[in-house]
């Protein structure tokens, strides 16, 4: 198929990719939020989650989404496909609310649509043109270093914030790392097409692996921190925004336009920013129990309560054992005055 007939097929594939990615986000968030860990940021979160079959099912949905997305981009125009893919944000928020048996409030829908519309308008208006297929090692290395520094800073500061703000912080670090991952992927895809096995000697491949793993680790820790509405919007907006910025700076792409285009892009960014803040505020008002560390602390408090040594107590057989409160423990050894007969017995011995 070619021409006009291909576009509807590409849109359907992109819609299926968006739904699959939304399902993956909801499934993996619901598994990650129950992960038993005392740390605000767990660097080994992927190693722990990979043992969970449901999380692996979410990973399979991610791979399906990537495959459908690649097929859609291969058939359709980028300006048409990217906004359809961005709809995964709405699908994920709606699915998360449905899974929690909690309908989304009108203000939440408004914030979600503002975030989605801002993202779609930004992707549509800021479509770059021209540029290179491959970027140099030094500019991509600088971008990767910035992403790594932000990821490390986010992980170190995660424990200083409440769960909702922690999710926002990790969303910022993860979104930047995901945008850098997109920029690295563009070069690696071009290198594989032209040089194939020579790509294994290229340092940009290993930068892609490191930054990609960092982005995914930040994403799963963001899922642990709070609800999906607190993390996913900022992550979903920063990913394409950073990728587009690197397209301009690193790949020397050009934006058409003038003041009107810049004004529309600024309005789109403001709308998306308001939507992110409103969704995060809504998530903070719900504030579910998101950490499996709470039962651990409660259990430790229960274990710290002193228990009276029942074995040292003698209870007559004719009466039932009294119920003793744990808050008033009986001393283990109570001095008993010696009887005269006992004293005589000791003297005789």
For the chain, how many helices (H) and strands (E)? 13, 0
Q: Measure the N-to-C terminal CA separation of the chain; round to a whole number of Å.
A: 110
* pTM score of the predicted model: 0.74
Domain boundaries, the chain: 3-289
Per-residue pLDDT of the chain (349 residues; tens, 9 = 90+): 555 567 788 889 999 999 999 999 999 999 998 887 778 889 889 999 999 999 999 999 999 998 998 888 777 776 678 788 888 988 999 998 888 888 888 998 999 999 999 988 888 887 777 778 889 999 999 999 999 999 999 999 988 988 889 999 999 999 999 999 999 998 998 888 777 788 899 999 999 999 999 999 999 999 998 888 889 999 988 988 898 889 889 998 887 667 788 888 889 989 998 999 888 887 776 654 444 443 444 334 434 444 444 444 444 444 444 444 444 444 444 454 444 444 434 444 3
- At residue 173, the pLDDT reads 95
Candidates 50, 77, 64; CA nearest to 21 is 64
- At residue 78, the pLDDT reads 67
Asked if residues 275 and 233 have their Cβ atoms less than 8 Å apart, the reply is yes
Asked if residues 264 and 272 have their Cβ atoms less than 8 Å apart, the reply is no
């Amino acid at each position: 198929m070619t021409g006009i007939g291909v576009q509807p097929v590409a849109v359907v594939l992109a819609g299926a990719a968006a739904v699959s990615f939304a399902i993956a986000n909801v499934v993996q968030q619901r598994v990650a939020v129950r992960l038993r860990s005392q740390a605000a940021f767990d660097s080994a979160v992927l190693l722990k989650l990979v043992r969970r079959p449901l999380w692996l099912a979410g990973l399979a949905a991610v791979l399906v989404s990537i495959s459908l997305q690649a097929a859609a981009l291969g058939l359709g125009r980028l300006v048409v496909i990217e906004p359809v893919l961005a709809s995964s944000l709405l699908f994920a928020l709606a699915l998360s609310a449905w899974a929690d048996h909690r309908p989304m409030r009108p203000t939440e829908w408004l914030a979600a649509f503002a975030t989605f519309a801002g993202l779609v308008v930004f992707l549509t208006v800021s479509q770059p043109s021209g540029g290179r297929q491959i970027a140099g090692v030094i500019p991509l290395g600088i971008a990767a270093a910035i992403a790594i520094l932000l990821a490390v800073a986010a992980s170190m500061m995660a424990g200083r914030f409440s769960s909702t703000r922690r999710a926002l912080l990790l969303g910022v670090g993860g979104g930047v790392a995901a945008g850098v991952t997109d920029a690295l992927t563009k070069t690696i895809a071009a290198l594989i097409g032209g040089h194939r096995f020579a790509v294994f000697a290229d340092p940009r491949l290993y930068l892609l692996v490191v930054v990609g793993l960092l982005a995914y680790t930040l994403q799963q820790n963001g899922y642990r921190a709070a609800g999906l509405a607190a993390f996913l919007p900022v992550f979903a907006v920063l990913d394409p925004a950073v990728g587009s910025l690197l397209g301009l700076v690193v790949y020397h792409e050009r934006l058409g336009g003038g003041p009107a285009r810049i004004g529309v892009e600024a309005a789109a960014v403001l709308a998306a920013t308001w939507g992110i803040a409103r969704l995060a505020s809504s998530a903070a008002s719900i504030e579910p129990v998101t950490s499996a560390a709470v039962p651990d602390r409660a259990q430790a408090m229960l274990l710290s309560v002193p228990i009276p040594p029942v074995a040292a107590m003698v209870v007559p057989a004719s009466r039932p054992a009294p119920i003793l409160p744990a808050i008033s423990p009986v001393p283990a050894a109570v001095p008993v005055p010696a009887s005269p007969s006992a004293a005589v017995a000791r003297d005789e011995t």
